[in-house]
Structure 1
């Protein structure tokens, strides 16, 4: 895993290895600047005295998770063909988990409470409907995705000598490239016939069989209402099935095939008619994010989803959000991605202005403490707890939830630990609105996704050197 390095004036240098960072800290040449992601600050080096290389940030925007890849770029000559090839060396992989759905649900709940209070509890005269939204306005749940992505791009630019950015922007359209005037039925029956539908169904049905929930196997397109009985080829009548379920269903209606599972039938019919919200969210925010990236002044490379998938399949890279980010744009070779840990970043927010809990009618039910800080800690801080006695003896590392009594809860990698006294807790890093954990790419699962790993990667050099003062 790469360790970020700053000079003594907080200017970014090229990252180093964990072993190199440990040696610099032991010799007194560096100080701990930040714990997660682990960053050190040299005390005897300036940026002008260092050699910097080209570092690129790749982005794969998503509705729930945005993949981020930090890569070092260099050009090399192919000995066989003599051509210049572009090589990307992966330095760090990150996955940013958005909380847009939480924001949407909370705004909906607040709107319902306010409507009831205004309409039923007291009279409120009608107001003029003359308010207008500014240009390029986005809903708060969508604006959050853009803001959090740009926040981490800005952070990485402070910690790394970033020279270029890459973003997956649009879908792949080979027919439009070959024949810009193609349209109508000719477009629908050309090279991409069925491609868009298959990709849409894979996203909509979560890449698993709708009948038995089988995953990581070849899936086939099935008609919910059979064509032989009047069913159409509309997307709302299509689903995914494994080969065995597809053969067993045959031309039976869904209700007859799943007669013993009426709940699954209702769920399938509702899911078939529901729109793909994630795709709509990504399509809405992609151009807003592109304009924000251009405003950074760096070179912004855009790629298509088809190009990303082609790069990933050609280079035998498994399916993951962060690895998709590394495959965006023009790339010939990707190195050192196999053993890279993935820093999973979960947007948690910085607390709430709400000072009470509410009943289902919107009335107060108990009050929160007026102070966000208790005994020098606040909810969201990363702490290390060394419990020496009692049933909960052991070492814990994670985010803390405070109580006025001084008995805290710690969300560690192994689960929630309750009732840890404050005297056992040591501050590691102040709350910054995000929760951190380390994952590992599950190579044995191919396109299955990600597998969990331990948080041993958090025990980096400097963890035992006292409480770091994060100034970046």
Structure 2
């Protein structure tokens, strides 16, 4: 059970108390509610020389959520625990949507506007994408908030690091780390061998094949090898910018086969690797 944070009338943090004791203070009129989340009460008197036990805040970083725990090192008691949700994926989707709208202007017959791309070169050393910057800012904000509600004197964070090449290829070793996915291949030749020189959707052979983005570029798909396949002109035109799950809704076996052959994206692992060193200020 998480304890209740408590501060004196001057806003100085005191030792967190049991919820039952906090309820008694509120009923007796000796304290009032200060914050709803995390639930914090404020005393109506000032403690001259408070004696508090130092606490440690521990962080378990993740791509979508970060675990937070406040622990008393002396007793090993967990004073507070919570899970912090991040908006990185939502920010990425909204930036992709904004980019698509801007690109669509090129096809419109609108008034001429001077190009403004030259004033967007603001990527200084240590720059991070907005989706990753949001994760760091979110964690830092709550660390500073908790330090105002309870006597935190130390911080610990699990340094997570994923070997993304090993996640893609379990047998990689030695020189393999220095070579890319298509070492010794041209991209088209690699795809021809990967998809058995046939259309990924209808499995026709002996027909002209085109490069196809499994997750459409119009919806934020990338040019990575893992997002490319081969398709005949008929299937390529029929799919268009549809999601593959929608296009193959009536062919679940084909959808399952393609999803099994395509490697899972490593966006979450990359996000954790990039933000593993938080700059606490």
User: So what's the TM-score if we normalise by structure 2?
Assistant: 0.64
Match of 2:84 among 77, 92, 96: 96
Q: 1:260 to 1:276 in 2, by over 3 A?
A: closer
Residue 73 of structure 1: aligned partner: 73
Distance 1:24 1:100 in 2: 40
Distance 1:100 1:109 in 2: 14
User: What is the Cα deviation at residue 38 of structure 1?
Assistant: 1.1
Conserved? CA contact 2:32–2:42, under 8 Å: yes
Q: Counterpart of 2:98 in 1: which secondary structure? A: helix
Map residues 275-294 of structure 1 onto 2, 5 A cutoff. 275-287=265-277, 289=278, 291=279, 293=280
Conserved? CA contact 2:162–2:269, under 8 Å: no
1:6 aligns with 2:7: yes
Map residues 52-201 of structure 1 onto 2, 5 A cutoff. 52-74=52-74, 87-122=75-110, 123-127=112-116, 129=118, 131-171=121-161, 185=174
Map residues 437-452 of structure 1 onto 2, 5 A cutoff. none
User: What is the Cα deviation at residue 128 of structure 1?
Assistant: 6.2
| Higher percent of residues as strand | 1
Distance 2:92 2:161 in 1: 27
Distance 1:45 1:134 in 2: 47
| Per-residue deviation, residues 100-132 of structure 1 (Å, max 9, x unmatched) | 111111111111112222552323344564624
Conserved? CA contact 2:160–2:272, under 8 Å: no
Q: Counterpart of 1:22 in 2: which secondary structure? A: helix
Question: Number of residue pairs matched?
Answer: 196
Map residues 301-380 of structure 1 onto 2, 5 A cutoff. none
Distance 2:58 2:34 in 1: 25
User: What is the Cα deviation at residue 10 of structure 1?
Assistant: 1.0
Q: Counterpart of 1:14 in 2: which secondary structure? A: coil
Q: 1:152 to 1:96 in 2, by over 3 A?
A: same
| Higher percent of residues as helix | 2
Q: Counterpart of 2:76 in 1: which secondary structure? A: strand
Q: Counterpart of 1:261 in 2: which secondary structure? A: helix
Distance 1:26 1:35 in 2: 17
Distance 1:158 1:64 in 2: 25
User: So what's the TM-score if we normalise by structure 1?
Assistant: 0.39
Conserved? CA contact 2:161–2:273, under 8 Å: no
Distance 1:185 1:128 in 2: 42
Q: Counterpart of 2:269 in 1: which secondary structure? A: helix
User: What is the Cα deviation at residue 50 of structure 1?
Assistant: 1.9
Conserved? CA contact 1:60–1:168, under 8 Å: yes
Conserved? CA contact 1:63–1:281, under 8 Å: yes
Distance 1:112 1:155 in 2: 37
Conserved? CA contact 1:118–1:124, under 8 Å: no
Q: Counterpart of 2:16 in 1: which secondary structure? A: strand
User: What is the Cα deviation at residue 26 of structure 1?
Assistant: 1.2
Distance 1:128 1:281 in 2: 27
User: What is the Cα deviation at residue 59 of structure 1?
Assistant: 0.4
Distance 1:260 1:103 in 2: 31
1:266 aligns with 2:255: no
Q: Counterpart of 1:62 in 2: which secondary structure? A: coil
Residue 24 of structure 1: aligned partner: 25
Residue 191 of structure 2: aligned partner: none
Distance 2:253 2:33 in 1: 57
Q: 1:265 to 1:172 in 2, by over 3 A?
A: closer
Residue 203 of structure 2: aligned partner: none
Distance 1:21 1:45 in 2: 16
Tell me whether 1-10 or 37-46 shows the greater mean CA deviation.
37-46
Which ranges of structure 1 fall in alignment gaps of 5 or more residues? 75-86, 174-183, 189-235, 237-258, 296-472
